[in-house]
Amino acid sequence: MYGFKTTLQGPFANAIERVTEELKKEGFGVLSDINVQATLKAKLDLDYLPYRILGACNPTFGNRALTADMDIGMLLPCNVVVRQEADQSITVAFMDPVAVMAIADQAAITELAGEVRGRLERVRDALT
């Protein structure tokens, strides 16, 4: 597995707000917000349900990762997908930093990834 997720009920906009707020409580900011639905409509004229990719970053952890390996930025930030399902439920899926950062094969990065995963799991748990 390269991620973990939870399911929410309610309006999509509320889910985005809740996810952003819970990330903030764990020290993460949203550096990027990719609106996949709007992009696919504009570029390919495809109709998708709401689908956003939030690029979450905790500056302290980001600094530690870059200090250990300047190329680690290729694996940052931690992506959090918020998408609406056909039944109107909302899936919130989190990238598992342990799985992704295993590519680096460095003890310092592996330890850091475990700390980040713990915080993202707390975000998931707070949402449910």
pLDDT at 78: 97
Angstrom distance (rounded) from CA 41 to CA 55:
21
pLDDT at 125: 98
How do residues 29-40 score in pLDDT, each as one tens digit? 999 999 999 999
Report the number of distinct structural domains present in the chain. Answer: 1
Is residue 5 in a domain? no
Edge-first strand listing for the sheet containing 3-8: 3-8, 90-95, 78-84, 51-57, 29-35
Averaged over successive runs of 10 residues, the pLDDT of the chain (128 residues) comes to: 96 98 98 98 98 97 95 96 98 97 93 97 97
The CATH number of whichever domain residue 69 belongs to comes to 3.30.310.70
pTM for the model: 0.95
Is residue 58 in a domain? yes
Angstrom distance (rounded) from CA 126 to CA 128:
6
- What is the token pair recorded at 112? 């850091």
pLDDT at 53: 98
Is residue 77 in a domain? yes
pLDDT at 1: 87
Is residue 103 in a domain? yes
Range of the domain at 38: 25-127
Angstrom distance (rounded) from CA 38 to CA 98:
30
Is residue 119 in a domain? yes
